[in-house]
Chain A
Amino acid sequence: MSLSTGIYNTLFKRNSVFVGTIFAGAFLFGVGFDTATTTFWERWNKGKLWKDIRHKYVTDAEE
C-alpha cells in the first residue's frame, strides 16, 4: 500500500510527470529492446557472421 501510494504520488499524480516518464521509458525501452534483439540475433547466427569468419579471408599482411 505504501509502495503503490509512493509510486502514485511520484509518477502518476501530475500528468506532466506521467507523460515525461512515458517518453523517457519509451527511449530506454527502445534502447534495451534493440540491444536485446541484436544480442539474440548474433547469438543465433553465431559462426555465420562476417566478424566470425573474417580471419579466414582477410589477413593483416594484405593490408
Chain B
Amino acid sequence: MATFATKRATTLAPTVRTLASGAPIAPRLNLAARGQASEHDHDHGHSESSRSDIRPRWAGGVTFSAAGLVSKTVTTVHSPAFQPRLIHTSVANKDAPQVPDYSKYRTDPGSNRALSYFMVGSLGVLSASAAKSSISEFLQTMAASADVLALAKVEVDLSTIPEGKNVIIKWRGKPVFIRHRTQSEVDEARAVDWKSLRDPQSDEDRVQKPEWLVMLGVCTHLGCVPIGEAGDFGGWFCPCHGSHYDISGRARKGPAPLNLEVPAYEFTDGDGKVIIG
C-alpha cells in the first residue's frame, strides 16, 4: 500500500499548467540550485557551492556594523542573475542580404498616376456619353412624329376675315373662334371691371393683338359650342344651358364657371396668318 502514500490528490491553481503526465510545470523553479552560502562558509561565495542566482558577498550587500545596517552596492558588477529582456524575440532584419535591391527597377508611383486616372476618366466619359445618348434616343421615340405634329397645327389666313366677323375653324377636333374685333369692341372689352368677374382675367391677358380674339369654342360648362354675336354681352351665348360670354370670351352669366379657353397661337408672315397649336 505504499502507492497510496505517494499518490496524493492536490488542487492546483488554475494558472498552473501541467504536463501531459499531470505534473505541474514550474519553469522558473531552479531545480539545479544549491544551498545558500552561509556565514559558516569561509570561502565567501567563491566555491562551487554558492548559488549562481545570488550575488556574492564581495559584490556588495547589506552588512551589519557598529553604525548600524550598511548597504553597499558595487554597480559595475553585473548581477549573475542579469538576464536581458527583449520585447522581440527576433530582431527585424531590414537589410536581408539574400534579397536583391529592386529599387532602381521600380517606377516612380507619381509618374503614371495622372495617365492612369486619365484613362479611367476617359472610359467614364465615353460610358456616360453613351448612356446619355441611349436614354435620350429612347425618350425621343416617345415623342410625337413630324406628321402628327403637322396635323396638330392649323394655319389661318387672317386677311380673309373682315372686321367685326367671326370665323370658326376646326383644330384638333374642336372649334376655334377667331374674331376680328372692331375698335369699339376692344374698348368695350377693356372697359369692364374685370376683377369683379367670375373668372377674373383682363382682356390684355387673353389676346396677343387687340383686334384678333382667338379662343377655343367649347363652353366651359358642359362642352357645347356657343353661338357667336349673341347673348346679353354682345359676345357668345351657349344655347344648351344659357351661358353668356362677353366680347373677350369671359363668362359673365349662366352656369359657365370659367372663361373660354385661349389656345397657344402665334402670328406669322407679318400678321397675315395665325398658326394655332
Contacts and interface: CB of A to CB of B under 8 A. Distances in A.
A26 B114 contact: no
A5 B110 contact: yes
A39 B121 CA distance: 27
- Top 6 nearest A-B pairs (CB, nearest first) are A4-B114, A26-B128, A12-B117, A22-B124, A25-B125, A26-B129
B125 A1 contact: no
Contacts of B114: 3-5, 7-8, 12
The B interface is mostly helix, strand or loop, or mixed, namely helix
Size bracket, chain B contacts: 10 to 19
B52 to A, nearest CB: 65
Given A4-B111, A30-B133, A22 B117 contact: no
Interface of A: 1, 3-5, 7-8, 11-12, 18-19, 21-23, 25-27, 29-30, 33
A1 B132 contact: no
A29 B110 CA distance: 28
Interface of B: 110-111, 113-115, 117-118, 121, 124-126, 128-129, 132-133
Contacts of B126: 26, 29
Nearest to B116: A12
A7 B113 CA distance: 10
Given A8-B117, A26-B124, A26-B126, 17 more contacts: A1-B110, A3-B114, A4-B115, A5-B110, A8-B110, A11-B121, A12-B114, A18-B117, A18-B121, A22-B124, A23-B128, A25-B121, A25-B128, A27-B132, A29-B125, A29-B129, A30-B129
